[in-house]
Structure 1
Amino acid sequence: MSLDLPDLQDDLDALAGAHGITGAVLAFAAGDEVAMAATGVLNTRTGQPVTTGSLFQIGSVAKAWTATLVLQLVGEGRLDLDQSAQSVLPELTLPEPVTIRQLLAHTGGFEGDVFVDTGRGDDAIQKLVALLGKVPQLSPPGAIWSYNNAGYVILGRVVEVMRGLPYNQALRAHLIGPLGLTHTATSADEAILYGTAVGHAHGEPVSTWSLMRSNDPAGASLAMSAGDLLTFARAHLADGAGMLPAPPARMMREPQVVLPDLGRPASWGLGWELQEWAGGTVVGHDGSTPGQAATLKLVPEAGVAAVLLTNGGDPDPLVAELLTPVLGRLAGVSAPPPVAPPAPPLPFDVDRYAGRYASDVTAWEVTGDPEGRLWVTVTPLGAMAELGEPQTFELARLRADTFVFAQARGGVHAAVAFIGEGERAGYLHTGRLNVRDSL
């Protein structure tokens, strides 16, 4: 059956055109009913149109798939959430022991952006895990939430060892096959057999279709149609039906850690972000790869799910102006109002915040000016250095130690949080934990 959303196609066409979206698929499910719309092209060089069956990369939404594979093992009694990853992977030499639960909830505390190409072989993930002994420990395990790609690489390796299969084969054997998915690819070699989206930047196709295989469990190359992603979502709405016992499926949606104040109330479960909206909790995950972006949101209490897949342009306006309002109407929930710089501006102590904060892939140089304003210069480092030049933005204090970018992007003022006791902050939290160079 189809949901009664008669304006969905026209609204998607109009918004995608207004915001420079190369191609997109938007899909909703409520109970047994589904509504989908597609717009734009898969590749500006070929002009091939997007259809509702086209494949797009889902980026870090794949982390929910990795988490599901892990919770299958928990449901079988073969894995305990509070055992250490090192107990399964003795070759893992992180600075501190870290549990399966902490990895799932992004509280491992170690540097999480480790993008090393270890080849295209079935041992790519194993090789990357062997390199993680060199990463710095940023905070004690379990202490602070910080988004961690490498943690999911470790979880993918746990799945490989316990299933006796390469990660992508485990995906196919334990999720793609049991769910009956027909438009899902785990690599470029598989994706080329379908009508598949190419990522775009500034209106032109990007030079790389997917990231390195070593990061597949974190979301390097998994691609699928909106319908297949909705099938996965609906299985979770049905407490894991067809892929996972109900108790571990429900456990995935239980809060494990409250996020720092990044502008909206949220916590993290075992693979899912949990956002507090008026009327209920919205469960989901976002993802991005070069030139592509994905959004998946579920409202378990209402049995409703939404998917947006794009391959160029800024997807945020489509989320804010179309996905969010339709999801709200279908599920009886409403998103928190977007944050914005207060007027008049709130005062702050420049000395508490000024300094250089860094991770392995980004440096954030925070400075004040004579007018008492705060600025941040963002510089990509390491593997990310080739992706862009340094950019400078003004920050405005929102409340306490939380600041927002003074200029909105896609109608959204992104937030950052400074963390630390005493006169000077020790961390800048941007979704990742960035450590101050010196106090």
Structure 2
Amino acid sequence: MATLSEIQTWLDDRLATLLTEYDVPGAAVAVSLRGEVIDTAAGVLSLATGVDATADSVFQVGSITKVWTATLVMQLVDEGLVKLDAPVRDYVPGFVVADEAAAAAMTVRQLLNHTAGFEGDIFIDTGNGDDCVEKYVAQLAGVTQLFAPGEMFSYNNAAFSVLGRLVELARNKPFAQCLRDHLVSPLGLTHVANDANEAILHRAAVGHIKPAPDADLAPAPVWSLMRSMAPAGAMLAMRPRDLVAFAQLHLDAGKAPDGTEVVSPSSVAAMQGRQVELPPLGMMGDAWGLGWEIFDWSGRTVIGHDGGTIGQGAFLRIVPEQELSVALLTNGGNLIGLYEQVVGHVLRELAGIAMPPLPTPPAEREPLLDATRYAGTYTCDVADITVSQDADGRVWLDHTPKGEIAELGGKPDPVELVRLDGDTLIALEPQHGMHQLQAFIGDDGSGRALYLHSGRAMRRADGAPADPAQ
């Protein structure tokens, strides 16, 4: 096994070269082993300004915020203010979705483990006031219920804004203040920003996107998503050293560096316990806990979460058995390729864990003679996806962004799909460093798949029954 100092040398020697290889403008890394931390950075925070990235630069962590939100909820569980299996409405009285029965039955646990069943990619800007999360939750009244609560996994951003509102009501203060009072301050973190106003006080990374599929990377037109989605990961930013300090809280049974119990050992254990198993989905874990993704790698358990915002990407992996955590924060480009190189090296050299390779199309492809089961349009609030088969028998996925997501970049080119296994198809060409999996599940009553699942379940729009119980 390598030493932590050897990992520091490798990162200092290799990170800049890897950024060039994977067309990533800038990145910062921190590694913690049994409480000892190293960090480094390379590249630039913005291609427009050329300001160097440093280890103290703050990058957005995106959906890794969900684990912070889950920790805030578990603190309330510890205090007896929340019960995981109680209805959400016990704590958020105004919570409604289009399906009244589902809204009434939905539990806090189902929000935390992504089994709530309502459409989750609901990006509504309700302003920058302290009441933005409250206003956002009120806007969910017309949101479609895709399946009965608890039936299966579907990644749900909106659920975590509802959890943010639960925390606000229990603490009687805005979500950002809850984060600072109950996690940032007790852990002694110094480089954490809740929004752009706080990020500007630090060296802050800017996201980079391609305005069109064949264009060069350019700084994103906006710094973050809307504040109403902050509990789901819209804007929280920090340096990687502070992110692994948060990870250490979950390695130290909920204790801060000064010994203060921030969250109970039982809640830490519950968050890391398997709640729901996932189908093979490429980058996503094998199971989900309460906030945490759970990976089964090299016969051991690894927990973590990823985050993606507008042109920024974040990766956190933790090996509880060896008290090891690694955080990689980036601002555009081939993030997956860089993640495989950097995080893969750290886990291999410090823990003897080989990250499994991401799925690739089979060398010998089984022809899809009839794609009727898969063909059709699947829809959600942010996109329509149409699957079709051409005259040569080739299967294509055409992705049409909608709403604010469409305004941030061009429409992607159609992607050819081939069979990987059973009803799981895989993109023939990689995008952003990986071949995306598309699992077709369920039955609409005529033999066609009811859902297209790539981590989020998208419901068939053409002729599917309206009742999620069917």
8 Å Cα contact 1:263/1:402 also seen in 2: no
Residue 456 of structure 2 corresponds to which residue in structure 1? 432
Residue 334 of structure 2 corresponds to which residue in structure 1? 314
Residue 371 of structure 1 corresponds to which residue in structure 2? 392
Task: Render the CA deviation track for 1:61-117: whole Å, top value 9, x for unaligned.
Answer: 100100000011111221110011111111111221311100000111001111111
What is the CA–CA distance in structure 2 between the aligned matches of 1:28 and 1:238, rounded to whole Å? 16
8 Å Cα contact 1:3/1:34 also seen in 2: no
- Which amino acid is the alignment partner of residue 207 of structure 1? P
SS in 2 for 1:62: helix
Which residues of 2 match residues 29-428 of structure 1 at below 5 A? 29-94=32-97, 95=99, 96=102, 97-201=105-209, 202-242=216-256, 243-263=262-282, 266-348=286-368, 349-387=370-408, 388-421=410-443, 423-428=447-452
Task: Render the CA deviation track for 1:266-309: whole Å, top value 9, x for unaligned.
Answer: 11100011111113111111111111111111111111101111
What is the CA–CA distance in structure 1 between the aligned matches of 2:228 and 2:16, rounded to whole Å? 36
| Greater displacement, 192-201 / 172-181 | 192-201
Task: Render the CA deviation track for 1:373-407: whole Å, top value 9, x for unaligned.
Answer: 21110110123221321420001111111111111
- Which amino acid is the alignment partner of residue 117 of structure 2? G
SS in 2 for 1:3: helix
Matched pairs, number: 439
What is the CA–CA distance in structure 2 between the aligned matches of 1:70 and 1:121, rounded to whole Å? 22
- Which amino acid is the alignment partner of residue 174 of structure 1? H
Task: Render the CA deviation track for 1:4-45: whole Å, top value 9, x for unaligned.
Answer: 322211211111011111110122111132222210111223
8 Å Cα contact 1:11/1:322 also seen in 2: no
- Which amino acid is the alignment partner of residue 49 of structure 1? D
Tell me the CA shift for residue 260 of structure 1.
2.3
8 Å Cα contact 1:340/1:413 also seen in 2: yes
- Which amino acid is the alignment partner of residue 419 of structure 1? I
Task: Render the CA deviation track for 1:171-196: whole Å, top value 9, x for unaligned.
Answer: 00000000000011111111111111
8 Å Cα contact 2:334/2:433 also seen in 1: no
Task: Render the CA deviation track for 1:235-277: whole Å, top value 9, x for unaligned.
Answer: 1111211221110011101111111232476111000111111
8 Å Cα contact 1:262/1:402 also seen in 2: no
What is the CA–CA distance in structure 2 between the aligned matches of 1:221 and 1:167, rounded to whole Å? 12
What is the CA–CA distance in structure 1 between the aligned matches of 2:51 and 2:227, rounded to whole Å? 27
- Which amino acid is the alignment partner of residue 401 of structure 1? D
- Which amino acid is the alignment partner of residue 223 of structure 1? A
Q: TM-score, normalised by structure 2?
A: 0.91
Note the residue ranges of structure 2 that are not aligned, 5 or more in a row: 210-215, 257-261, 465-470
Tell me the CA shift for residue 325 of structure 1.
2.4
What is the CA–CA distance in structure 2 between the aligned matches of 1:44 and 1:354, rounded to whole Å? 41
What is the CA–CA distance in structure 2 between the aligned matches of 1:131 and 1:233, rounded to whole Å? 33
Tell me the CA shift for residue 410 of structure 1.
4.7
What is the CA–CA distance in structure 1 between the aligned matches of 2:342 and 2:298, rounded to whole Å? 18
8 Å Cα contact 2:82/2:91 also seen in 1: no
The runs of at least 4 consecutive aligned structure 1 residues that moved more than 3 Å come to none
SS in 1 for 2:398: strand
Tell me the CA shift for residue 411 of structure 1.
4.3
What is the CA–CA distance in structure 1 between the aligned matches of 2:65 and 2:452, rounded to whole Å? 27
Q: 1:24 aligns with which of 20, 24, 27?
A: 27
SS in 1 for 2:27: strand
What is the CA–CA distance in structure 1 between the aligned matches of 2:44 and 2:281, rounded to whole Å? 34
What is the CA–CA distance in structure 2 between the aligned matches of 1:131 and 1:46, rounded to whole Å? 38
8 Å Cα contact 1:199/1:312 also seen in 2: yes
8 Å Cα contact 2:305/2:316 also seen in 1: yes
Tell me the CA shift for residue 428 of structure 1.
0.4
Tell me the CA shift for residue 206 of structure 1.
1.5
What is the CA–CA distance in structure 2 between the aligned matches of 1:279 and 1:241, rounded to whole Å? 28
8 Å Cα contact 2:35/2:248 also seen in 1: no
8 Å Cα contact 1:112/1:147 also seen in 2: yes
Note the residue ranges of structure 1 that are not aligned, 5 or more in a row: none
8 Å Cα contact 1:4/1:35 also seen in 2: no
SS in 2 for 1:29: strand
What is the CA–CA distance in structure 2 between the aligned matches of 1:45 and 1:344, rounded to whole Å? 45
What is the CA–CA distance in structure 2 between the aligned matches of 1:382 and 1:101, rounded to whole Å? 30
Seq. identity, %: 47
Residue 3 of structure 1 corresponds to which residue in structure 2? 5
SS in 2 for 1:404: strand
What is the CA–CA distance in structure 1 between the aligned matches of 2:264 and 2:226, rounded to whole Å? 32
